[in-house]
Amino acid sequence: MRCTIITDKDSPKSGVYTSRRDALKAGAVIALSMVLPAGVKAEAESGKRWAMYIDVSKCYGCYACVTACAAENNVPIGVFRTWVERHVIGEGTTVFVPKQCNHCENSPCVAPCPTGATYRTKDGLVLVNDELCIGCGACIQACPYGARFFNPVKGVVDKCTFCNHRIYNGKLPACVEACPTGARVFGDLNDPSSPIANLVSKGSSQRLKTWTGAEPMIFYRDLPSEANR
Partner 1 sequence: MYPYGYMYPNEYAEPIVWLPTLFAYSLLISGADLLILALLAFLFNKLRKAMPMLLTLGLAFFTVVLLGPLADLRNPDRATLLFSNAQIVPSEQHPGTSMIALMGGLMWPLGWVLALLFILLYFSYPMHLKYLATRNPLYKVLSLGVSTPERFRAIKPVMKVVAAIALVPLAFWSIYPATLFVMQTGLFAWRNWTLLPIMYFADVFVTATAAAILAAWISDRSRLQQLDVASLITIHGGGAVSVAAILVIQLWYWKNVFGTTDYYVSLAPLIRWSYVAIGLFLLTFALSLVSMRYLSLSIIIPFTGFAATVVNKWNAIIRAQEIVRSGMTYLQPTYNLSPELMVMVGIISAGVFLAIVLTSIFPLEVKNHDY
Query: In whole angstroms, how far apart are CA 42 and each of 10, 34, 55, 162?
Result: 21, 13, 29, 14
Among 30, 79, 172, 197, binds partner 1 (CB under 8 A): 79
Q: Kindly tell me which of 61 and 144 has the beta carbon lying closer to partner 1.
A: 144
In Å, how far from its chain's centre is CA 13? 40
Q: How far is the CB of 161 from partner 1 (least distance, A)?
A: 15
47 binds partner 1 (CB under 8 A): no
- For position 70 contacting partner 1 by CB under 8 A, the verdict is no
Residues 50 and 217 sit within 8 Å (Cβ to Cβ): yes
- Residue from the set 12, 27, 155, 213 that interacts with partner 1 by CB under 8 A: 155
Size of the site for partner 1 (CB under 8 A): 42
Distance of closest approach, residue 120 Cβ to partner 1, in angstroms? 6
Binding piece for partner 1, criterion CB under 8 A, among 10-18, 46-54, 137-145, 189-197 = 137-145
Give yes or no for residue 36 binding partner 1 (CB under 8 A): no
The site string for partner 1 over 189-228 (x = CB under 8 A, - otherwise) reads -----------------------x--------------x-
Using CB under 8 A, which of 26, 36, 156, 172 touches partner 1?
156
Q: Is 94 left (phi over 0), alpha (psi -120 to 50) or beta?
A: beta
The distance of closest approach from Cβ of residue 27 to partner 1 in the complex, given in angstroms and rounded to an integer, is 26
Q: Does 143 bind partner 1 (CB under 8 A)?
A: yes
112 is a contact residue toward partner 1 (CB under 8 A): yes
In whole angstroms, how close is the CB of 168 to partner 1 at the nearest point? 18
Phi and psi at residue 126, in whole multiples of 5°? -105, 115
Q: Pick one of 2, 30, 108, 197: the residue that binds partner 1 (CB under 8 A).
A: 108
Contact positions toward partner 1, by CB under 8 A? 78-80, 83, 85, 106, 108, 110-116, 118-122, 132-138, 140-150, 155-156, 212, 227, 229
